[in-house]
Amino acid sequence: MKVQANRLDRGFYKYQKEFEDKALEVLRSGWYVLGKEVSSFEEEFASYVGSKYCVGLASGLDALWLAFKALGIGKGDEVIVQANTYIASVMGITINDATPVFCEPDEYYNIDADKIENLITDKTKAVLVVHLYGQASNMDKISKICKKHNLRLVEDCAQSHGSCFKGKMTGTFSDIGCFSFYPSKNLGAFGDAGAIVTDDLKIAEDMKMLRNYGSRVRYYNEVVGANSRLDELQAGLLRVRLNHLKELTDERLEIGERYLKGINNPRIELPKIREGADAVWHQFVIKCDDRDELIEYLKSKEIGTIIHYPIPPHLSEAYEYLGHKEGDYPITENYAKTVLSIPMYNEMTVEEQQYVIDALNAF
Ligand X SMILES: *Cc1c(COP(=O)(O)O)cnc(C)c1O
Which one, 194 or 343, has the nearer CB to ligand X? 194
Which one, 128 or 145, has the nearer CB to ligand X? 128
Long-range contacts of 207-213, Cβ-Cβ distance < 8 Å, separation of 24 or more? 207/55, 207/57, 207/66, 207/67, 207/70, 208/55, 210/66, 210/69, 210/70, 211/55, 211/56, 211/57, 211/58, 211/62, 211/66, 212/34
Residues shown for the chain: 363
Output the smallest distance, CB 159 to ligand X, in A.
5
Q: Which of 294, 226, 305 is nearest to 265 (CA)?
A: 294
What DSSP line would sit under 245-297, residue for residue? HHHHHHHHHHHHHHHHHH---TT-BPPP--TTB-B--SSEEEE-TTHHHHHHH
Check if the beta carbon of residue 229 is closer than 8 Å to that of residue 56: yes
Output the smallest distance, CB 68 to ligand X, in A.
13
Output the smallest distance, CB 14 to ligand X, in A.
22
Which one, 139 or 263, has the nearer CB to ligand X? 139
Which one, 87 or 270, has the nearer CB to ligand X? 87
**Burial group, residue 273, by CB count within 10 angstroms (0-12, 13-18, 19+):** middle
**Other residues' Cβ atoms within 10 Å of the Cβ of residue 211:** 25
- The residue at minimum Cβ distance from ligand X is 60
Which one, 37 or 156, has the nearer CB to ligand X? 156
Output the smallest distance, CB 157 to ligand X, in A.
8
Contact residues: ligand X, CB under 6 A: 59-61, 85-86, 88-89, 130, 156, 158-159, 180, 182, 192, 194
Which one, 177 or 256, has the nearer CB to ligand X? 177
Which one, 59 or 172, has the nearer CB to ligand X? 59
Output the smallest distance, CB 62 to ligand X, in A.
7
Which one, 159 or 338, has the nearer CB to ligand X? 159
Check if the beta carbon of residue 159 is closer than 8 Å to that of residue 283: yes
Output the smallest distance, CB 285 to ligand X, in A.
13
Output the smallest distance, CB 241 to ligand X, in A.
15
Output the smallest distance, CB 74 to ligand X, in A.
20
Task: Round to whole Å and give the CA distance between 110 and 104.
Answer: 8
Q: Which of 303, 224, 230, 252 is nearest to 62 (CA)?
A: 230
Phi, psi of 282 (to 5 degrees): -60, -45
